[in-house]
Amino acid sequence: MATETIEVEDQLLPCTDDSKTGRRLTEAISYRHLNTLDLTGTAPVREEEKIKIKSKDPTPELRTYHIKLGWIQGVLIPCLLNIWGVMLFLRIAWIVAQAGIALSIAIICLSGVVCVITTLSLSAICTNGELHGGGVYYIVSRSLGAELGASVGIMFAFANAVAASMNTIGFCESLNDLLKSHNIKILDNDVNDIRMIGAIALFVMCLICAFGMDWETKTQNFLITIIVSAILNYVLGVLIGPLYAEQDAKGFVGLKLEQAKKNLMPDFRYSENQEHDFFSIFAMYFPAVTGVQAGANICGDLKDPATAIPKGTLIALAISVSSYLLMATLCGFAALRDASGHVEDLLAGNIDACKPNCPYGLHNNYGIMQLMALSSELIYAGCWAATLSTALTNLLSVPRLIQALGVDKIYPGLIFFSKRYGKHGEPYRGYVLTFLVSLLFLLIADLNTIAPLITNFYLASYALINFCTFHADVVMSINWRPSFQYYNRWISLFGFLMCIVIMMIISWMMALLTVSIFLTLYLIVLYRKPDVSWGSSTEAQRYKEIISALVQMCYMTENVRSYNPQLLVLAGGPYLRPALLDLGQFITNTGSFMVVANIHESHLSYTDRALQQQVGEEWLHTRKERGFYVVVDGCSLEDGLRNLIQCSGLGRVSPNIMLIGFKNNWQKAAFNKVKTYVKLIQIAFDQQLAVAILRVPLTVPPRNATQVKLQNSRTSLEVEIHTQVLAIMNADSDIETVIKVEEPDEDDAGETSPPPEGQQHFTEQQRKRHGKSGVFRPLELNEENNLDSWWLYDDGGLNVLLSYIIAIRGFRAMPLRIFALARTCHRLGDAEAGVKALLHKFRVEFSCLKMIQGLYDPPQLETKEMFNMMIERFRTDVESDVLITNEELERLNQKTDRYLRLRELVIENSTNASLIVMSLPRPRPNTVSAALYMTWLEVLSSDLPPVLFVRGNDTSVLGV
């Protein structure tokens, strides 16, 4: 028994030709991935062919497969390294000088509260399902949807890239001070030295990250050791106190309660081109504690993210906030705000007489912690380790986040950067992009300028994380079951509001800029509508809102003003009759929907039925149709239609119009097929549905070059997709690919245009199949020509309404002409004025109204002869509900003559119309035979532009 191999996400599954396994696997093939299949024609897939089944959620590919980290190595240490950044040794003393001990503690605690709340929210999200690579983007997108997730992801990636440059600048500042103290100069001992050293440092750190997680992990272990040693060195230095008079003169006086009292209250000053206050200092400090997401940024590299992220992040936050509080308090207790640096001034008791221009002290010397420490060299080392480690963590997370966005194809511009290299799938291209962005901000070379810039981006990201948890908990989706229970929806909401308020207070202009950037990114994704479904809370909310709205609509009183045309389209396979779907799209794109139905008289297995359903849905999705696809099997066409009418939809949201194609081959078809076709129309009327029948001519008048080019491009795509669908279905299915009802014979199936280039390789059999299925007969309407509405009966106004929708709403420019019957020749002007008044009353825009006379005149002889030729095959002397008897012809002679005369009037007035919408005769049972009824329709629509027959169910659809 021959076997074929199918790859499914790195697993090889054998399947046999005659087993059901093959069908189940074929069912998993997504229509959007058909272009990856090596298929030609409609022949079955060869046994040796391999079909790569892609996951709908490609982000799991971002996982590394060999290096998995625990909570200490993967979360605790990265968080500590990210939080212990540039502020720890270079700005905490200056913050105490400006804000005082009390407000410094308040700033640290406020930042800590924001981070703790965000960590609790983040932990709840992280423990609600399996996590893959992508960091904050992955977490938010899978919780709130692609639009919010991608927007936050881009902002977060940008903030991290800028934070990397900020910490690199801090490293360069410290190194520059050290070089200055030894009278060493590279360029100018100023910004140019910072730029040059920083560029080199950034490049080296990107190389370390690019070597992989193992190198970065080893580097982190070394750096964390140095930072802890430097902190202990500082604490010991403060506890021991100054050892030399020069230290006292430069502002380090040792632990003194009197000094703490002096430094307790704030002393905000003008510095760095800004008059500072509480929130400007908060903006300067806040980036110091933005490392709580460090573990989440590499969640794809963790052994157990659900456990590691909450545990590691909360412990890291407790340790880091405690260390900042300790160091800020020690600075306030042991150092002066201003000092001259001269021992003489110290002895004279006027050490701070030089303020506000003193060179030393908490206000003036960013490197005062080196002075207070036991060993200044170790403080330098700790400062370098803190800044470089934070920069390293940021540089490591940004490329992976960009890679996740690129793999998900949310923003097309990032797809290039998602390419994976090596056995660990490293995003080398992402590292290059991150390096360039960080280098751009590094050239600013001013730490105090960059820090407030990224605070808003971090606060916005944290606000969205808190909102994610609040939203998910309020919506209460069934899938919202986080194993981390120490969160509260209202605390998360408080965290969200706190972040927004702080953003506005810090700088309302920067807050508006941040919101504008966020909205722009959001709208881009919303406009592109990425084809993803991740079970987010927004999807759950949408589901609940839909159910609630449907239930409410069931109890609403029907009103003509709320009428919407809701279509039941009998299209079979949707790719077989594009003209029906084109028309359905014209009608429903104003806010309604259509149900596209495929009725199989034979019984289908579950697998075959599911495959048909999937292919139909994917086709509608590809064409962006507003429709649902339904497959009914195991019943006759009549019973299938009854079932569809009775069961399709929910409550008021159910089809009210049946749209069906005209049976072009009725004159050659078997009698029972003609009877069945007419019976379908009768069933729809019996079930109080309106009926619309579309007839597209088998040949189309010549078109201009632009139309031909556009149509060739569209037809080529549809033929290619159709061929691939047929190949898949034939490979492992017994489904008939061409439905039998309404199908023209091959002799009757003309083409709308010559085959486009690139289609000459189709075999003759394939060409006949495509022609028969209607692929080459899409609905083409010329906007420059008129849409003619022949309003012959008062059916509730559906004829006029659909004409208006197609002409005005569908094309926005197609002239609408309305033809109405003038019953008598007398007072024609009054009749026309009455119809115009009625149309204006219903607010129907039209370009021309013409009253038709002469309907009751006898038809021409040649028209009668044409009619007699049509019915010749269907004449009988025996009473029948299909064939035509002499008695029936005589009984319905006047009605037949009116239809023959109507044909002449239509030819006289509407030969050049783009589309003709005409009132449909109603086939009343036991009144007219199927053959005579089809002859009427044939007479009214043959040798004309596309004709849409419409008949309402006598319920008014035009609201005043």
CA 903, 909, 912, 916 torsion-angle sign: negative
Same domain, 233 and 124: yes
Reply yes or no on whether the pLDDT at 707 is more than 60: no
Reply yes or no on whether the pLDDT at 333 is more than 90: yes
Tell me how crowded residue 872 is: count the other CB atoms within 10 A of its CB: 10
Bridge partner list, 851 = 820
Same domain, 372 and 411: yes
Classify residue 766: in a domain, yes or no.
no
Classify residue 649: in a domain, yes or no.
yes
Length of the chain: 960
Classify residue 544: in a domain, yes or no.
no
Classify residue 817: in a domain, yes or no.
yes
- Model confidence band, residue 492 (pLDDT cutoffs 50, 70, 90): very high
**The CATH number of the domain where 222 resides is what?**
1.20.1740.10
Same domain, 816 and 882: yes
Same domain, 521 and 647: no
Domain boundary among 734, 749, 773: 734
406's tokens = 């690129």
Same domain, 932 and 902: yes
Burial of 444: CB neighbours in 10 Å, binned 0-12, 13-18, 19+: middle
Q: What are phi and psi of 569, to 5 degrees?
A: -100, 115
Separation between Cα atoms, residue 933 and residue 674, nearest integer Å: 10
Same domain, 818 and 696: no
Residue 43: name the closest of 796, 614, 657, 765 by CA.
Answer: 765
Q: Strand, coil or helix: what is 144?
A: helix
Same domain, 77 and 18: no
The pLDDT assigned to 947 comes to 92
The pLDDT assigned to 216 comes to 63
Angle between helical axes of 671-686 and 930-941 (0-180°, round to 10): 90
Same domain, 440 and 475: yes
Of residues 47 and 669, more confidence is placed in 669
Residue 355: name the closest of 346, 342, 365, 364 by CA.
Answer: 364
Reply yes or no on whether the pLDDT at 16 is more than 50: no
Bridge partner list, 421 = 426
Classify residue 571: in a domain, yes or no.
yes
**The CATH number of the domain where 625 resides is what?**
3.40.50.620
The pLDDT assigned to 811 comes to 62
Angle at the Cα of 947 from the Cα atoms of 943 and 953, rounded to 5 degrees:
140
The β-bridge relationship of strands 947-951 and 915-919 is parallel
Separation between Cα atoms, residue 543 and residue 537, nearest integer Å: 10
694's tokens = 């579309």
CA 151 vs CA 165, 530, 958: distances in Å: 22, 13, 44
Q: What is the DSSP letter of 183?
A: T
**All residues at 6 or more sequence positions from 469 whose CB lies less than 8 Å from its CB, including other chains:** 120, 121, 122, 124, 125, 143, 487, 489, 492
Q: Are 727 and 43 in contact (CB under 8 A)?
A: yes
Peptide bond into 356 cis (omega under 30): yes
Classify residue 436: in a domain, yes or no.
yes
930's tokens = 């199927």
Separation between Cα atoms, residue 300 and residue 133, nearest integer Å: 4
The pLDDT of 172-180, averaged and rounded, is: 87
Classify residue 430: in a domain, yes or no.
yes
Same domain, 12 and 112: no
Residue 331: name the closest of 84, 85, 90, 93 by CA.
Answer: 93
Burial of 854: CB neighbours in 10 Å, binned 0-12, 13-18, 19+: middle
Query: For 74-112, what is each residue's pLDDT tens digit?
Result: 889 888 888 887 788 888 999 999 999 999 999 999 999
CA dihedral 400, 406, 407, 410 (to 10 degrees): 130
Mean pLDDT across the chain, nearest whole number?
79
Tokens 């004025």 belong to: 833
The string of DSSP letters for 827-847 reads THHHHHHHHHHHHHHTT---S
Q: Strand, coil or helix: what is 8?
A: strand
- Model confidence band, residue 508 (pLDDT cutoffs 50, 70, 90): confident
Buried b (16+ CB within 10 A) or exposed e, 653-683: bebbbbbbbbbbbbbebeeebbbbbbbbbbb
Same domain, 484 and 596: no
Range of the domain at 575: 565-734
Query: For 893-945, what is each residue's pLDDT tens digit?
Result: 999 999 999 999 999 998 888 899 999 999 988 889 999 999 999 999 988 99
Task: List alpha helices for 211-342, DSSP H.
Answer: 213-240, 245-249, 257-262, 278-285, 294-297, 305-334
Same domain, 244 and 347: yes
Reply yes or no on whether the pLDDT at 447 is more than 90: no
725's tokens = 């669908």
The pLDDT assigned to 27 comes to 37
List of long-range contacts for 682-686, beta carbons under 8 Å, 24+ apart: 682/923, 682/924, 682/925, 683/638, 683/641, 683/642, 683/645, 684/641, 684/645, 684/658, 685/922, 685/923, 685/951, 685/953
The pLDDT of 330-341, averaged and rounded, is: 91
Q: Which helix (H) or strand (E) holds 149?
A: helix 146-181
**The CATH number of the domain where 849 resides is what?**
3.40.50
Reply yes or no on whether the pLDDT at 9 is more than 80: no
**All residues at 6 or more sequence positions from 747 whose CB lies less than 8 Å from its CB, including other chains:** none
Bridge partner list, 567 = 594, 657
Domain boundary among 43, 60, 77: 60
Q: Strand, coil or helix: what is 230?
A: helix
498's tokens = 């706190």
Of residues 519 and 39, more confidence is placed in 519
Of residues 63 and 570, more confidence is placed in 570
Burial of 776: CB neighbours in 10 Å, binned 0-12, 13-18, 19+: buried
Domain boundary among 466, 500, 528: 528
Separation between Cα atoms, residue 491 and residue 508, nearest integer Å: 24
Q: Strand, coil or helix: what is 873?
A: helix
Query: For 349-379, what is each residue's pLDDT tens digit?
Result: 788 778 878 889 898 888 888 889 998 889 8
Q: Are 667 and 871 in contact (CB under 8 A)?
A: no
Q: What are phi and psi of 794, to 5 degrees?
A: -85, 95
Buried b (16+ CB within 10 A) or exposed e, 99-132: bbbebbbebbebbbebbbbbbbbbbbbbbbbebb
What's the structural domain count of the chain? 4
Reply yes or no on whether the pLDDT at 21 is more than 70: no
Same domain, 145 and 46: no
Bridge partner list, 594 = 567, 627
Classify residue 538: in a domain, yes or no.
no
Q: Are 863 and 903 in contact (CB under 8 A)?
A: yes
The pLDDT assigned to 453 comes to 82
The pLDDT of 64-74, averaged and rounded, is: 71
Query: For 128-162, what is each residue's pLDDT tens digit?
Result: 877 776 777 887 787 777 888 888 888 888 888 99
